[in-house]
């Protein structure tokens, strides 16, 4: 019998999901945990040196017979030991997801089953456990989920057999035993139970069956029990990195463990009484609720729990999420809590265990309350996510082309939202005053190498700060006066920056410093000293050179990003200053237009942080109305346009890159203008939109070569659209016409117009952008500069392979894995940080929207096709580029993600659509407020930043 069409679709989706899940795990193949290094690999080496009989009769490590047998078989296979461990665990990840798929397929059908399969495979604690940690929790959990599946289908013996195999793998299977025991007792009470006492005997029978090879080789059966009994005495802490309730009380494991076990037993019995009192349907309707709560209770209240012991109830929570709306809240919350403990172990990230325990207890109590509502017939429903039937693939604004009307309300909304961004963007943007007067010091200067810094009186000095105008990475030496002698401060000190305050921590008591500039010539503008409270210390104004002590008010406190250049500002901001003053040009690895734009702000406001950042802020604000118009065209409604703009305003990377003097915000603006023109042309077929796109493309290429990545997208979209129109012409035998402004334009003329817009005009603008080069270097004209510098840029980027602590491969951008820290300083428990990364809501909702758009494209939704082409065009080049890259190179993709999120919401057809829009915007704004300190440079508590904001391990703000 041939499989049905629906069956084929299901298989295809599961294959695609499995491939994506495997790729995700492959990314973490090189992570070596302490468990892998100190336990699993040594056990492997010991077993590898044994013959079969010795390996099956000798206890190695603290795992039971079955796992040790599997390790022995691994030693017979080729390959690296760590990879084989991880592949074994990954295999059981898929078996675990398969159990969830079967469970949901029986109850809810194909669609939810596939979603559950994907949810388990992409659950962070699942793939971290196997692919990063190399642990085997998915092995016993998979057996338990299969056991629960067969139990739900009343195949009792099969269920207990799987339970026995799970016990043979890990003792943590005991967490599900209360559920089986309660089902047995409930059956006795209700006189309807199918579980009998003898069924529990299947568990040891199955365990012994898995140990037959060991027993045959002479291993005593008692060893199966002794292995687990030794595990229970091995760990002597009341908790082992799991956020149990006992973290809130400092109990002693040896004195209180039996009391904790007794409390757990009482709570379990209380739950049984409650279930019976409320007549919970443990066998069917409340099957998953009871399994989840009982398992959760065991892990939360038993002593000596590890962070991985929550693995089982996390999987049951996913199953529960498909049964009840509030289950998603529970599943998401337990993931957040347990991820923090995973990352603490794997990556050493800080955590506040008491806070995590409070959160864990709150989730548990919420689960109890939710189940109470469920049994009362008043379940907590996620009505906001309820959808209309037969809506997917329906909204296609490009296919139903129309002229867009911008109402007065739209204009007011754009103006208000742009103003709102300018208000928040200008907050702590940068000081409007920086040292101007400067002196040249060093071996080749009249001032010489030594500069004396004299205080008015002897006092404690926390640090000495030096503002260099042009002194990149030049060495200096600092001494302080002590008892008539000079004592050195620090070793191998360098200035390391331009137009930047360099802070040198001293923490000494003195009345005078001597700073020695040992380079040939450094241009220094100011030197200041800071006290223990971070405030400036008055100096004797008669120091020489006097230019170094005449603008002390420019640094009232410990310097941060508000007072100095950060990250690549030292290239782009500096070069803009050089453009303005006709100086030799330092940064020539990108086209000049972006630096020319920055120089306008410097010309108006001076060479200070505000002056070289204001242009970025203005262009960041200009992105707001463009995003509004794109959203209005894609979705056709003002409320969607408002949401798109809110997502843009609260997107972290947009906020950060709009407030620093780099060129990424300029090229992003030009690219989204190009995108808007392209969408408008597809809808209205007017020449002016092609010209607009071409002009934006020209300016983008003259700013940064990233704009060139749009070329394949533009070519594919326009040629595809032309082919469709020609096909329509052939069918209708009508003359070829595109629109009023392109009347009579045949395909060859249309191609000529496109070449003029996207080739000839950009080439001219690109050459004109080199006017600043021609001013300084008169030996070549602008065209020669454009060619020679482009060759230089190509060679530079091909060789930019030097590792960087914040570099990140392209695939990590999809998960917001490694932020770029532009600036970071801390003082007395307070930290100031400016970090570039994506708003988590935009990142992860956008990733889901990409998957949804693949489906919509399959359903022939042309808007989805266009969005996917543009997204992939901006992402895929980075897959093939081998140079060192950073997350800000994903910036333009995030703008497409925002549009995809809007389009997905529009196509999903939510019944309470307005509330979904409000919820989406509200969550994005909440993330923005929460993370504002680490994207704005505003000082905040180190405790808050380290223990609350650091969710992912590489978020090193």
What is residue 369's predicted lDDT score, i.e. its pLDDT? 94
* DSSP bridge partners of 481: 486
What is residue 6's predicted lDDT score, i.e. its pLDDT? 60
For residue 629, which of 681, 676, 690, 674 has the smallest C-alpha distance?
676
For range 671-681, the mean pLDDT: 95
SS3 343: helix
What is residue 802's predicted lDDT score, i.e. its pLDDT? 82
The per-residue pLDDT for range 67-108, each reduced to its tens digit, is 888 888 888 889 899 999 999 999 999 999 999 999 998 888
What span, in angstroms and rounded, lies between the C-alpha atoms of 211 and 340? 36
**Range from 137-146, 152-161, 186-195 carrying the lowest mean pLDDT:** 186-195
The per-residue pLDDT for range 136-151, each reduced to its tens digit, is 899 999 999 999 999 9
What span, in angstroms and rounded, lies between the C-alpha atoms of 31 and 678? 44
What span, in angstroms and rounded, lies between the C-alpha atoms of 553 and 557? 10
SS3 619: helix
**Is residue 846's pLDDT more than 90?**
yes
* DSSP bridge partners of 175: none
Which residues have a Cβ under 8 Å from the Cβ of 767 and sit 6 or more positions away? 782, 783, 786
**Residues 634, 868 contacting (CB under 8 angstroms):** no
What span, in angstroms and rounded, lies between the C-alpha atoms of 128 and 133? 6
What span, in angstroms and rounded, lies between the C-alpha atoms of 282 and 294? 12
What span, in angstroms and rounded, lies between the C-alpha atoms of 53 and 75? 14
The per-residue pLDDT for range 447-465, each reduced to its tens digit, is 888 999 999 999 999 999 9
**Residues 904, 852 contacting (CB under 8 angstroms):** yes
For residue 203, which of 293, 152, 140 has the smallest C-alpha distance?
140
**Is residue 681's pLDDT more than 60?**
yes
- Tokens 């334009």 belong to 745
Which residues have a Cβ under 8 Å from the Cβ of 584 and sit 6 or more positions away? 578, 776
Determine phi and psi for 672, rounding to 5 degrees.
Answer: -70, -25
What span, in angstroms and rounded, lies between the C-alpha atoms of 728 and 734? 8
**Is residue 944's pLDDT more than 50?**
yes
What is residue 859's predicted lDDT score, i.e. its pLDDT? 86
What is residue 228's predicted lDDT score, i.e. its pLDDT? 72
**Is residue 735's pLDDT more than 50?**
no
What is residue 185's predicted lDDT score, i.e. its pLDDT? 86
What span, in angstroms and rounded, lies between the C-alpha atoms of 107 and 112? 9
Q: Helices in 109-136 by DSSP H: which ranges?
A: 110-121, 124-127
What is residue 417's predicted lDDT score, i.e. its pLDDT? 96
Mean pLDDT rounded to a whole number for the chain: 88
What span, in angstroms and rounded, lies between the C-alpha atoms of 672 and 693? 9
**Residues 648, 898 contacting (CB under 8 angstroms):** yes
What span, in angstroms and rounded, lies between the C-alpha atoms of 306 and 287? 26
pTM: 0.87
Instruction: State the burial class of residue 76 (Cβ atoms within 10 Å of its Cβ: 0-12, 13-18, 19+).
Output: exposed
What span, in angstroms and rounded, lies between the C-alpha atoms of 773 and 778? 8
Phi/psi region, residue 390 (left: phi>0; alpha: psi -120 to 50; beta: rest), is left
- Tokens 């200070």 belong to 608
Within 483-600, strands assigned E span 485-494, 500-517, 522-530, 536-537
**Is residue 615's pLDDT more than 70?**
yes
For residue 818, which of 832, 837, 839 has the smallest C-alpha distance?
837
Cα 895 to its chain centre, rounded Å, is 16
For range 235-239, the mean pLDDT: 77
What is residue 391's predicted lDDT score, i.e. its pLDDT? 55
The domain ranges of the chain are 178-196+236-379, 439-560, 593-949
Which residues have a Cβ under 8 Å from the Cβ of 893 and sit 6 or more positions away? 813, 871, 874, 875
The per-residue pLDDT for range 870-882, each reduced to its tens digit, is 999 999 999 988 8
What is residue 310's predicted lDDT score, i.e. its pLDDT? 93
SS3 833: strand
Pairing of the two strands 830-836 and 500-517: unpaired
**Is residue 810's pLDDT more than 80?**
yes
Which tops the pLDDT comparison, 348 or 781?
A: 781
What is residue 235's predicted lDDT score, i.e. its pLDDT? 67
What span, in angstroms and rounded, lies between the C-alpha atoms of 91 and 121? 11
Fold of the CATH domain 439-560? Jelly Rolls (2.60.120)
Token pair in block for residue 164? 């026995």
**Range from 396-405, 510-519, 623-632 carrying the lowest mean pLDDT:** 396-405
**Residues 680, 659 contacting (CB under 8 angstroms):** no
What span, in angstroms and rounded, lies between the C-alpha atoms of 648 and 824? 25
SS3 478: strand
What span, in angstroms and rounded, lies between the C-alpha atoms of 599 and 594? 9
For residue 237, which of 303, 296, 294 has the smallest C-alpha distance?
303
Which residues have a Cβ under 8 Å from the Cβ of 189 and sit 6 or more positions away? 276
The per-residue pLDDT for range 369-378, each reduced to its tens digit, is 999 988 888 8
Contacts 24+ apart (CB under 8 A), 74-78: 74/44, 75/44, 75/47, 75/48
């Amino acid at each position: 019998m041939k499989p049905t069409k629906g069956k084929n679709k299901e298989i295809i989706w599961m294959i695609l999901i499995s491939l994506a899940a495997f790729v995700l795990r492959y990314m973490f193949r090189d992570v070596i945990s302490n468990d892998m290094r100190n336990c699993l690999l040594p056990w492997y080496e010991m077993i590898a040196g044994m013959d079969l009989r010795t390996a099956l009769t000798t206890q190695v490590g603290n795992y039971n017979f079955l796992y040790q047998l599997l390790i022995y078989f691994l030693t017979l296979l080729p390959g690296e030991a760590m990879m084989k461990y991880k592949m074994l665990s990954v295999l059981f990840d898929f078996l675990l997801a398969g159990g969830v798929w079967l469970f949901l397929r029986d109850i809810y059908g194909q669609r939810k089953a596939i979603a559950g399969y994907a949810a388990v495979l992409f659950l962070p604690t699942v793939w971290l456990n196997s692919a990063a940690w190399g642990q085997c929790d998915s092995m016993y959990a998979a057996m338990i989920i299969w056991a629960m599946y067969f139990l739900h289908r009343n195949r009792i013996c099969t269920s207990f057999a799987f339970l026995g195999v799970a016990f043979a793998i890990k003792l943590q299977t005991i967490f599900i035993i209360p559920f089986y025991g309660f089902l047995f007792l409930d059956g006795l009470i209700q006189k309807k139970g199918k579980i009998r006492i003898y069924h529990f005997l299947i568990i040891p029978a199955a365990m012994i069956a898995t140990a037959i090879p060991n027993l045959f080789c002479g291993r005593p059966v008692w060893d199966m029990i002794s292995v687990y009994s030794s595990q229970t005495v091995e760990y002597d802490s009341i908790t082992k990195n799991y956020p149990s309730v006992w973290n809130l009380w400092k109990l002693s494991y040896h004195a209180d463990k039996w009391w904790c076990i007794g409390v757990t037993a009482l709570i379990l019995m209380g739950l049984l009484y409650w279930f019976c009192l409320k007549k919970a349907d443990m066998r069917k309707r409340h099957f998953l609720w009871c399994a989840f709560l009982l398992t959760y209770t065991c892990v939360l209240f038993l002593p000596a729990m590890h962070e991985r012991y929550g693995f089982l109830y996390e999987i049951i929570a996913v199953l529960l999420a498909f049964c009840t709306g509030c289950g998603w809240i529970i599943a998401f919350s337990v993931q957040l809590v347990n991820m923090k403990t995973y990352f603490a172990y794997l990556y050493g990230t800080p955590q506040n265990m008491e806070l995590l325990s409070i959160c864990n207890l709150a989730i548990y109590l919420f689960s109890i309350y939710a189940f109470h509502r469920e049994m009362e017939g008043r379940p907590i429903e996620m009505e906001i996510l309820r959808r209309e039937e037969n809506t997917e693939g329906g909204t296609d604004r490009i296919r139903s082309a129309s002229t867009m009307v911008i109402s007065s309300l739209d204009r007011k909304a754009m103006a208000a939202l742009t103003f709102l961004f300018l208000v928040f963007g200008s907050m702590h943007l940068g000081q409007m005053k920086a040292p101007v007067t400067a002196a040249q010091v060093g071996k080749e200067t009249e001032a010489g190498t030594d500069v004396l810094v004299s205080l008015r009186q002897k006092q404690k000095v926390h640090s000495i700060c030096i503002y260099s105008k042009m002194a990149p990475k030049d060495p200096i030496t600092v001494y302080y006066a002590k008892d008539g002698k000079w004592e050195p401060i620090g070793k191998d000190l360098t200035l390391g920056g331009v137009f930047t305050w360099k802070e040198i921590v001293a923490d000494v008591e003195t009345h005078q410093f001597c700073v020695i500039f040992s380079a040939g010539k450094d241009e220094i503008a100011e030197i200041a000293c800071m006290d223990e409270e971070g405030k400036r210390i008055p100096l004797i104004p008669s120091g020489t050179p006097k230019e170094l002590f005449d603008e002390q008010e420019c640094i009232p406190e410990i310097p941060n990003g508000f007072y100095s250049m950060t990250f690549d500002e030292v290239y782009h901001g500096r070069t803009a200053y050089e453009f303005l003053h006709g100086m030799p040009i330092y940064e020539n690895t990108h086209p000049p237009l972006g630096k020319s734009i920055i120089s306008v702000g410097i010309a108006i406001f001076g060479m200070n942080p505000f002056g070289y950042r204001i242009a970025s802020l203005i262009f960041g604000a200009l992105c707001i109305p463009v995003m509004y118009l794109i959203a209005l065209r894609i979705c056709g409604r003002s409320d969607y346009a408002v949401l798109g703009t809110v997502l843009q305003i609260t997107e972290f990377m947009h906020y950060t890159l709009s407030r620093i003097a780099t060129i990424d915000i300029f090229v992003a603006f030009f690219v989204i203008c190009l995108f808007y023109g392209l969408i408008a042309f597809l809808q209205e077929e007017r020449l002016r939109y092609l010209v607009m796109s071409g002009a934006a493309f020209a300016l983008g290429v003259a700013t940064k070569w990233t704009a060139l990545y749009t070329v394949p997208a533009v070519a594919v979209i326009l040629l595809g659209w032309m082919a469709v129109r020609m096909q329509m012409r052939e069918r209708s035998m009508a003359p070829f016409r595109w629109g009023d402004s392109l009347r009579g334009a045949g395909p060859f003329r249309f191609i000529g117009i496109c070449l003029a817009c996207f080739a000839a005009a950009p080439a001219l603008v690109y050459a004109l952008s080199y006017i600043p080069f021609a001013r300084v270097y008169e030996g070549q004209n602008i065209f020669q500069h454009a060619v020679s510098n482009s060759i230089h840029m190509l060679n530079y980027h091909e060789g930019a392979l030097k590792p960087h602590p914040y570099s990140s491969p392209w695939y990590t951008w999809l998960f917001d894995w490694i932020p770029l820290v532009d600036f970071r300083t801390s003082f007395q428990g307070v930290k100031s940080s400016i970090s570039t990364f994506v708003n988590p809501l935009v990142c992860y909702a956008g990733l889901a929207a990409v998957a949804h758009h693949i489906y919509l494209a399959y359903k022939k939704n042309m808007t989805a096709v266009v969005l996917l082409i543009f997204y992939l065009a901006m992402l895929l080049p980075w897959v093939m580029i081998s140079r060192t890259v950073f997350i800000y190179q994903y910036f333009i993709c995030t703008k497409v993600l925002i549009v995809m999120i809007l389009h997905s919401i529009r196509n999903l057809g939510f019944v309470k659509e307005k509330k979904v829009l409000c919820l989406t915007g509200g969550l994005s704004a909440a993330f923005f407020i929460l993370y504002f300190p680490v994207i704005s440079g505003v000082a905040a508590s180190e405790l808050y930043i380290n223990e609350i904001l650091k969710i992912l391990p590489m978020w090193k703000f």
